[in-house]
Chains A and B, each alone.
Chain A
Amino acid sequence: MSQPLQQRTQFDPGSSLQVPERKRGLATEIWKHRKQYLAISPFYILFAVFGLFPILFSMYLSFQKWDGIGVMTFNGVNNYQFMVTDPEFWKAVGNTLLIWIYSTIPMLFFALIIAFLLNASFVRFRTFFRIGYFLPNVTSLVAVAIVFSTVFSNNYGLLNYILSQFGADPVEWLNKTWGIQLAVSIMVIWRWVGYNAIIYLAGLQSIPTVLYEAAKIDGATGIQSFFRITIPNLRPIILFTVITSTIGGMQIFTEPQVLVGNDGGVSGGGLTIVLYLYREAFVNNYFGYGSAVGWGMFILIALISLINWRVVQGGGAKDE
């Protein structure tokens, strides 16, 4: 496995003493580096106990019926069967996907625009803007949800006040499926636009200016260099932001839980998959079923990530 060993076998191929010597060599090498192994071991031990084992254990649990206290009984595929036939589960899947789409598309769009604006060569106070835009991202979700609940409040919220200024009737935002989903999406957008803008900005700045200069000499217009240079060079970064927003979007929990409670509001519009999982496992104590829902969510994330990857990569292949 290590470099020196491979070199040694090259020096005397076919020697009969080679095998025991190699073994002894490897063992000595390992023993010599025991301190280094010790130094990196905490991560692997922690991952084995709190990362890998729970994943395997959740596979086992998902085939059991268990309330967390009493006796575990084997349940076959009943948990999974219940999951795919439970309308609430599919509602949670639908809500999560809708909130993800409502939030991700405007979020990445605005982030890209802000990044372009900040990247203009003559912009001053760039650091100041970057800090201002990033501030929402370090704020706790619980706090954000509490503030936004007054904005979207059913009767005398800020948004209803703005509507009334235009002569419109107040809307009971938090009693409507779409109202809750809009509120959650806006919270997500607000919190993550700055983060993504900063990443796009770094991506823009890492594109060598020589490329643009060469394009200019060749007579390319600004729009041409945008589509031929900027977008292709930014593609891996866009893919990164799409994947992180997908993983984040599939796991939305705090915003709806604090905003409208464990049931996702009057109409259930805020019931996301993780909120559903939390409710079934930790409020209703269906531990086996909760584990099965975890796997359902995992498959969903994997599927959507794959589609994302195909779309972003596939788009690249067509361009070239």
Chain B
Amino acid sequence: MVKRKSALLLYVGLFIGLIVSIFPFYWLAVMATRTTAEIYSFPPKFWFGTHLIDNLTRVFDSVDFVGAFLNSLFVATCSTVLVLFFDSLAGFTFAKFNFPGKKWLFVLLLATMMAPSQLSLVPSFVIMAKFGWVGSFKALIIPGMANAFGIFWIRQYAQESVPSELLDAGRIDGCGFFRLYWNVSLPILRPALSFLGAFTFIGSWNDYLWPLIILNDEKKFTLQVALSSLNGIYVTDYAMIVAGTLLAVIPLIVLFLFVSKQFISDIAAGAIKS
């Protein structure tokens, strides 16, 4: 009896937490279907309205939403593909080969994770200006296309899962270094790659401060920058801003729900390992 009661209490606690977690998404969806007047009415409307199409039409009229969406998609996809390639190549090499200085190079790699990124905001911008990359997607993609966390992550996974015997067999069959990586190991690394890929994509999609500094032409705005400029300009048409926000949030939720189960355990594993 006592056990039943405490179990009930536990579920009530978990459900309250869950509702707090989910409510803002629901609230966002409700507001996106209402007019601005309805959003600010007392008492607030907690159920869906009928103005979603209206609001979305105004979103597409006021900003190049499709353009911003495609820009974000392009930047996030390029970043993800490049990170996956360079990180898995380096992680695999660290896991499966011995070469002079390997230990020190890896320690150096881990040490770079502690370098504070905000410290170099101004000089990084200056470097981009010198390269002529201000206003260009290159500035968003190239600096991050090989990163310490991803290399560390792949190395851990490759050490445990790529058998050295398999690589030896590959060598006997005449595989060179790159074939050992591409044809033999990459298929085995797939689970680690899917986490790193989702992690990189989400991070790139949500990035705001750096794109805000780098992108100076409206045509190149990513979704987050476009959304924030929408929020700054059309203060009176809140229904439209909210509808745009909803559109920007949906793709990531869908992506996350697809990968969520593995993604969450990998996040936890990554934290515990480091």
A-B complex is real: yes
Binding site for B on A (CB under 8 A): 1-3, 5, 26, 29-30, 33, 35-37, 39-40, 42-44, 46-47, 49-55, 57-58, 61, 68, 110, 113-114, 117-118, 120, 122-123, 127, 129-136, 138-144, 146-148, 150-151, 153, 155-156, 158, 161, 164, 190, 193-195, 198-199, 201-203, 206, 237, 240-241, 247, 251, 253-254, 257-258, 261, 274, 277-278, 281-282, 287, 290-291, 294-295, 297-298, 301
- Of B11, B93, B205, which one neighbours A39 at CB under 8 angstroms? B93
Is B209 interfacial (CB 8 A cutoff)? Answer: yes
> Interface residues of A: mostly helix, strand, loop or mixed?
helix
What distance in Å separates the Cβ of B122 from its nearest Cβ neighbour in chain A? 4
Q: Using Cβ atoms and an 8 Å threshold, which residues of chain B touch A139?
A: 25, 206, 249, 252-253
Q: Using Cβ atoms and an 8 Å threshold, which residues of chain A touch B242?
A: 146-147, 150
Closest to A196 in B: B271
Complex CA–CA separation, A281 to B212 (angstroms): 13
The reply to whether B209 and A274 form a contact with Cβ atoms under 8 Å apart is: yes
Contact with A along B12-32 (1 / 0, CB 8 A): 011001101110110110010
In the complex, which residues 92-125 of chain B have their Cβ closer than 8 Å to any Cβ of chain A? 92-94, 97-101, 104-105, 108-109, 112, 115-116, 118-125
Q: Using Cβ atoms and an 8 Å threshold, which residues of chain A touch B89?
A: 39-40
Stretch at the interface among B51-59, B160-168, B188-196, B262-270: B262-270
Known contacts A42-B86, A301-B116: does B24 contact A30 (CB below 8 Å)?
no
Q: Using Cβ atoms and an 8 Å threshold, which residues of chain B touch A254?
A: 208-209
The reply to whether B145 and A46 form a contact with Cβ atoms under 8 Å apart is: yes
What distance in Å separates the Cβ of B12 from its nearest Cβ neighbour in chain A? 10
Q: Using Cβ atoms and an 8 Å threshold, which residues of chain A touch B272?
A: 199, 202-203, 206, 237
The winner among B20, B100, B116, B256 for most chain A CB atoms within 10 A is B100
Number of interface residues, chain B, beta carbon within 8 A: 94
The reply to whether A147 and B13 form a contact with Cβ atoms under 8 Å apart is: no
Binding site for A on B (CB under 8 A): 7, 10-11, 13-14, 17-18, 20-22, 24-25, 27-28, 31, 39-44, 86, 89-90, 92-94, 97-101, 104-105, 108-109, 112, 115-116, 118-127, 129, 142-148, 151, 176-178, 181, 202, 205-206, 208-209, 213, 223-224, 227-228, 231-232, 238, 241-242, 245, 248-249, 252-253, 256-257, 260-261, 264-265, 267-269, 271-272, 274
Closest to B82 in A: A42
The reply to whether A294 and B14 form a contact with Cβ atoms under 8 Å apart is: no
What distance in Å separates the Cβ of B245 from its nearest Cβ neighbour in chain A? 5
The reply to whether B123 and A58 form a contact with Cβ atoms under 8 Å apart is: yes
The reply to whether A127 and B90 form a contact with Cβ atoms under 8 Å apart is: no
The reply to whether B268 and A201 form a contact with Cβ atoms under 8 Å apart is: yes
Q: Using Cβ atoms and an 8 Å threshold, which residues of chain B touch A251?
A: 118
The winner among A2, A52, A146 for most chain B CB atoms within 10 A is A146
Q: Using Cβ atoms and an 8 Å threshold, which residues of chain A touch B176?
A: 35
The winner among A114, A143, A202, A291 for most chain B CB atoms within 10 A is A143
Complex CA–CA separation, A279 to B204 (angstroms): 23
The reply to whether B271 and A237 form a contact with Cβ atoms under 8 Å apart is: yes
The reply to whether B94 and A58 form a contact with Cβ atoms under 8 Å apart is: no
Complex CA–CA separation, A51 to B120 (angstroms): 8
What distance in Å separates the Cβ of B11 from its nearest Cβ neighbour in chain A? 8
Complex CA–CA separation, A201 to B248 (angstroms): 30
The reply to whether A148 and B253 form a contact with Cβ atoms under 8 Å apart is: no
The reply to whether B224 and A142 form a contact with Cβ atoms under 8 Å apart is: yes
The reply to whether A140 and B93 form a contact with Cβ atoms under 8 Å apart is: no
Q: Using Cβ atoms and an 8 Å threshold, which residues of chain A touch B39?
A: 150
The reply to whether B241 and A146 form a contact with Cβ atoms under 8 Å apart is: yes
Known contacts A54-B123, A150-B242, A156-B42: does B209 contact A278 (CB below 8 Å)?
yes
The reply to whether B123 and A132 form a contact with Cβ atoms under 8 Å apart is: no
Q: Using Cβ atoms and an 8 Å threshold, which residues of chain B touch A131?
A: 257, 260-261, 264
Q: Using Cβ atoms and an 8 Å threshold, which residues of chain B touch A130?
A: 264
Q: Using Cβ atoms and an 8 Å threshold, which residues of chain A touch B115?
A: 51-52, 55
Known contacts A33-B99, A135-B253, A140-B205: does B120 contact A49 (CB below 8 Å)?
no
